[in-house]
């Protein structure tokens, strides 16, 4: 099913329910679907909230997937490293985020060490921290354990055994540790096939099938091999996690593209956190400032994917008022992020957002983790 078909199906459901109009709230990929819905059936939609948004001003969703790699590493470098540095008493890795970053990649530079780290991240479900910072304590412990294991004089390094030691050193509840060891056994012992054996399987990665129909992706292996090589240099964690692969979309021709957007587009609010890795900030900013009849609420120094309800009046009240009455904010709102786990204050992770939710300078490599956040104090 294409996104266009899904939009028609949603409006058909509205018709079957006997509703003259509906209110739409979409998260993540649902923001791309919502833009299709809002552009095709604006007369049948009262209002929309698009949370953690794709750049749906583009014809193809490829721009999101291309940007997510650097977005993930940016959150790891600027947000998580700073947080680990501020919590040296817990993790014992020092107070300099750049030094911690360098130690992590030095400790995982050898292929066997890198594979052990990959096994460990996936076994403990560490990547969930990149969608919700509530998981930062486990992720911080995992980073510390990977560094400790990588700096230990083990020879030879057996990746599965090394990953098992990392899991045992990571601060996890007993039930999660046991589950992590079970997942590790599966990762480290994939099915073995004889040379020439016909391998049968079902490719059921639904989001990939859906994404490939959402606008024409760049076709051909050469482009993607060059893209992955270039991206690995700026997104080393993403590369280590095995996420730089040639997508199915590279061989999937389609004539689908986002329909034209005009002034008939549904009244909309976009919510976006600054350090979101799954729909990076530039994506949500482009939607929130580029879609017709749309206002942006940007949450500074926050990394959560899926903002609303956030738990602060500054973020939630404009959304609630909009849903109840249709009163859309007349300007961009820059809202303060909440403190991260183990902390009572919010700190500046990137650089302050101005009144238009823009950064005044290019993305820094590292920042001082001790600078208090400006948003919410002015």
pTM of the model: 0.93
Give the pLDDT score at 219: 95
pLDDT, tens digit, for every residue of 111-134? 999 999 999 999 999 999 999 999
pLDDT, tens digit, for every residue of 221-279? 999 999 999 999 999 999 999 999 999 899 999 888 888 899 999 999 999 999 999 99
pLDDT, tens digit, for every residue of 73-85? 999 999 999 999 9
**Nearest of 307, 321, 299, 214 to residue 259 by alpha carbon:** 214
Joined together, the tokens standing for residue 138 give 């486990």
Binned at pLDDT 50, 70 and 90, residue 378 comes out as very low
> Can you tell me which residue has the tokens 């509530």?
134
Give the pLDDT score at 195: 84
Tell me the fold of 3-61+257-336.
Rossmann fold (3.40.50)
Q: How far apart are CA 255 and CA 196, in angstroms?
A: 37
| Dihedral sign for Cα atoms in the order 4, 6, 9, 15 | negative
Binned at pLDDT 50, 70 and 90, residue 35 comes out as very high
Task: Give the residue extent of every domain in the chain.
Answer: 3-61+257-336, 73-188, 217-251
Give the pLDDT score at 68: 95
Q: How far apart are CA 345 and CA 370, in angstroms?
A: 10
Sequence-distant (≥ 6) Cβ neighbours of residue 335 within 8 angstroms: 297, 298, 299, 300, 310, 312, 314, 315, 375, 376
Q: How far apart are CA 348 and CA 141, in angstroms?
A: 22
Q: How far apart are CA 97 and CA 100, in angstroms?
A: 5
pLDDT, tens digit, for every residue of 331-342? 899 999 999 999
Q: How far apart are CA 106 and CA 128, in angstroms?
A: 24
Binned at pLDDT 50, 70 and 90, residue 9 comes out as very high
Give the pLDDT score at 290: 96
Sequence-distant (≥ 6) Cβ neighbours of residue 154 within 8 angstroms: 162
Contact 186, 163 (CB under 8 A): no
- Does 206 have pLDDT greater than 50? yes
Give the pLDDT score at 201: 65
Q: Where do the H-state alpha helices sit in 151-265?
A: 159-169, 174-188, 206-213, 221-234, 236-240
């Amino acid at each position: 099913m294409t996104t266009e078909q899904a939009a028609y199906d949603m409006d058909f459901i509205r018709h079957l329910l006997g509703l003259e109009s509906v209110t739409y709230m979409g998260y993540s990929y649902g923001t791309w679907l919502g833009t299709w819905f809002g552009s095709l059936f604006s007369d049948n939609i009262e209002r929309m909230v698009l949370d953690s948004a794709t750049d749906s001003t583009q014809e193809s969703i490829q721009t999101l997937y291309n940007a997510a790699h650097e977005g993930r590493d940016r959150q790891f470098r600027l947000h998580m490293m700073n947080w680990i540095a501020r919590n040296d008493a817990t993790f014992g890795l020092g107070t300099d985020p750049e030094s911690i970053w360098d130690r992590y990649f030095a400790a995982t530079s050898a292929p066997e060490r890198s594979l052990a780290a990959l096994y460990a991240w996936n076994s403990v479900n560490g990547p969930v921290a990149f969608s919700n910072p509530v998981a930062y304590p486990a992720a911080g412990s995992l980073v510390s354990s990977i560094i400790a294991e990588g700096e230990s004089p083990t020879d030879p390094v057996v990746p599965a055994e090394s990953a098992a030691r990392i899991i045992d050193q990571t601060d996890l509840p007993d039930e999660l540790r046991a589950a992590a060891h079970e997942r590790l056994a599966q990762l480290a012992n994939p099915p073995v096939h004889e040379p020439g054996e016909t391998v049968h399987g079902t490719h059921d990665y639904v989001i990939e099938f859906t994404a490939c129909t959402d606008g024409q992706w760049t076709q051909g292996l050469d482009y993607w091999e060059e893209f992955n090589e270039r991206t690995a240099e700026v997104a080393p964690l993403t590369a280590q996690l095995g996420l730089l692969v040639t997508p199915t979309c590279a061989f999937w021709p389609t004539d689908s593209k986002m329909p034209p957007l005009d002034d008939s587009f549904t009244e909309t609010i976009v919510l976006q956190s600054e350090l979101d890795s799954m729909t990076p900030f530039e994506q949500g900013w482009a939607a929130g400032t580029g879609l017709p009849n749309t206002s942006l609420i940007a949450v500074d120094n926050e990394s959560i994917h899926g903002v609303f309800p956030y738990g602060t009046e500054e973020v939630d009240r404009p959304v609630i008022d909009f849903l109840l009455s249709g009163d859309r904010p007349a300007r961009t709102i820059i809202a303060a992020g909440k403190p991260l786990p183990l902390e009572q204050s919010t700190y500046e992770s990137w650089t302050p957002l101005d009144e238009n939710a823009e950064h005044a300078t290019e993305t820094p490599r590292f920042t001082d983790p001790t600078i208090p956040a400006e948003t919410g104090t002015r």
